[in-house]
Chain A
Amino acid sequence: MAAGFKTVEPLEYYRRFLKENCRPDGRELGEFRTTTVNIGSISTADGSALVKLGNTTVICGVKAEFAAPPTDAPDKGYVVPNVDLPPLCSSKFRSGPPGEEAQVASQFIADVIENSQIIQKEDLCISPGKLPEVTINEETALAEVNLKKKNYLNIRTHPVATSFAVFDDTLLIVDPTGEEEHLATGTLTIVMDEEGKLCCLHKPGGSGLTGAKLQDCMSRAVTRHKEVKKLMDEVIKSMKPK
């Protein structure tokens, strides 16, 4: 009977849970889903990572190549991020050129990299003549021409993103699932840096938020950053140096 109600009136069904300050999957309003991180699974990529947040799974690979630098910045390299949302992930996506969501996500990642200065493009320069390009990024290893000897890329910061959803213009929930995002009246993503600096804030339309609520979101993002940073440190430590 509950399943029928859920199909016919998904918003009402959801509101009933929110009134009790919890969600259908049993989480509190401010609770995150289990996060798992795994690195180095794809051996053909120079670096790879697999991250699972509840049911959302993302795999990321990095490949480095040589390219001539742009004429207006002869000592910089390129970082080329691209997000691909294949029809595998959800029935919303069709095969073919990247749709709107994929393009928005790619641009978002490009902005985060740019703003947080994860990788200084100057680091990517081998000599003001040739330097490598990276497509789709995260953890990396930089290859010199001697393939046996690889250097790790200098990662300056570790930005972590936290997402929120706004319901009925007032209620704020953390880490929404796909269904919750669909029913929400607004979504918000905050990317925080290590020193508590804001890298990027993404709020595509939706209901407005007061300043106080925004501050609350940012403080939650800072706590989340600490948790995720701990996880990443563990994973990187367990990685055997090649």
Chain B
Amino acid sequence: MPGDHRRIRGPEESQPPQLYAADEGEAPAARDPTRLRPVYARAGLLSQAKGSAYLEAGGTKVLCAVSGPRQVEGGERGGGPAGAGGEAPAALRGRLLCDFRRAPFAGRRRRAPPGGGEERELALALQEALEPAVRLGRYPRAQLEVSALLLEDGGSALAAALTAAALALADAGVEMYDLVVGCGLSRAPEPAPTWLLDPTRLEEERAAAGLTVALMPVLNQVAGLLGSGEGGPTESWAEAVRLGLEGCQRLYPVLQQCLVRAARRRGAAASP
């Protein structure tokens, strides 16, 4: 990176060996389009963070930590009508600051640390999806920091990060209306354009379109939606969203159990 004197620099240009390799010719195996990969979730593993969660779904590994509430620099004056339930007025509501990081060894190609636009877009998507679930009115003039670290990208990274972030917030004891569960989808290219739930990295790379849905399962409300690509007619997108929402509902019991176990562990550690 020109002028980046804070990091040890390598050569100016470098190419991954994949460019020179003979074509792999690995086509993703045919599979049931509605299958969800088994998920391993664990909350409360970082001792220094207020709340933390680790989520592993197939090859995707995400670690998320929550810290705060901390005071926002530059206080704002109050004003405006108070929200329902005795919450602070709109101008005094708390803020959620999300940070999404991709480890340099997470993808097929080495990604230098200042990830640029993609990381910021995903961080914004995280924030937009988590805001409806968190009762920010209860944290006036404070900010909650959520940071997600993607250790390995095995497909549907944003969905995994969303779920991990919601678990971490719940583990931190932040007041929420509901958990947020994320699910990724991708549309296989012609000649068989079907929407596949929870794609692997190989399927995502060859996809014509991709979609990530975030759902609040108990309230049954969509918290966030991010999609791009050539998806075909609108009915196809509507069907994809429905498929994604079903996937989120199926994932919910696993996350509930994970939080119960974490609470039990914390209780056992605190009692003696």
Query: Which one of A62-70, A160-168, A200-208 is at the interface?
Result: A62-70
User: Are A135 and B104 in contact (CB-based, < 8 A)?
Assistant: yes
The B interface is mostly helix, strand or loop, or mixed, namely loop
List B contacts of A80 (CB < 8 A). 8-10
Question: How many residues on the B side are at the interface (Cβ–Cβ under 8 A)?
Answer: 47
Report whether A65 and B15 are in contact in the complex, using a CB–CB cutoff of 8 Å.
yes
Provide the residues of chain B in CB contact with A66, threshold 8 Å.
Answer: 14-17, 20
Q: Which residues of A contact B (CB under 8 A)?
A: 41-45, 48, 55, 59, 61-68, 70, 78, 80-82, 84, 86-91, 95, 97-98, 102-103, 106-107, 110, 132-133, 135-136, 143-147, 178
Question: A110 CA to B75 CA in the complex, in Å?
Answer: 43
Q: Cβ of A65: which chain B residues have Cβ within 8 Å of it?
A: 14-17, 110
- Known contacts A86-B149, A95-B99; is A44 also within 8 Å of B108 by CB? yes
Interface pair A110/B21, CB less than 8 Å apart: no
Q: How far is the CA of A80 from the CA of B47 in the complex (A)?
A: 30
* CB nearest to A70 among chain B residues: B11
Give Cα A186–Cα B107 distance, bound, in whole angstroms: 40
Given contacts A63-B104, A87-B147, A88-B63, contact A68 B13 (CB under 8 A): yes
Please encode chain B, from 136 to 178, with 1 for each CB lying within 8 Å of some chain A CB and 0 for all others. Answer: 0000000001010101111000000000000000000000000
A87 touches B99 (CB 8 A): yes
Q: How far is the CB of B139 from chain A (nearest CB, A)?
A: 17
> Complex formed: what's the CA distance from A45 to B201 in Å?
14
Question: In the complex, are the beta carbons of A78 and B10 less than 8 A apart?
Answer: yes
With contacts A42-B105, A147-B21 taken as known, whether A88 is within 8 angstroms of B65 at the C-beta atoms is: yes
Q: List the A residue with the shortest CB-CB distance to B119.
A: A95
Given the complex of chains A and B, what is the CA–CA distance between A81 and B107 in angstroms?
A: 18
Task: Indicate which residue in B15, B52, B101 contacts A86 across the interface (CB closer than 8 Å).
Answer: B101
- The 0/1 profile, CB within 8 Å of A marked 1, for residues 1-36 of chain B is 000101111110111111011101000000000000
Please give, as numbers and ranges, the residues of chain B lying within 8 Å of A102 by CB-CB distance. 6
Nearest to B123 among chain A residues (CB) is: A95
Query: A212 CA to B46 CA in the complex, in Å?
Result: 38
Q: For B13, B21, B101, B110, which residue has the most chain A Cβ atoms within 10 angstroms? A: B110
Complex Cα spacing A45 to B105, Å: 5
List of 8 A-B pairs having minimum Cβ-Cβ separation, nearest first = A61-B105, A45-B105, A80-B10, A67-B14, A65-B14, A67-B11, A63-B110, A88-B65
A98–B8 Cα distance when bound, in Å, is 11
Residues of A within 8 A of B101 (CB): 84, 86, 95
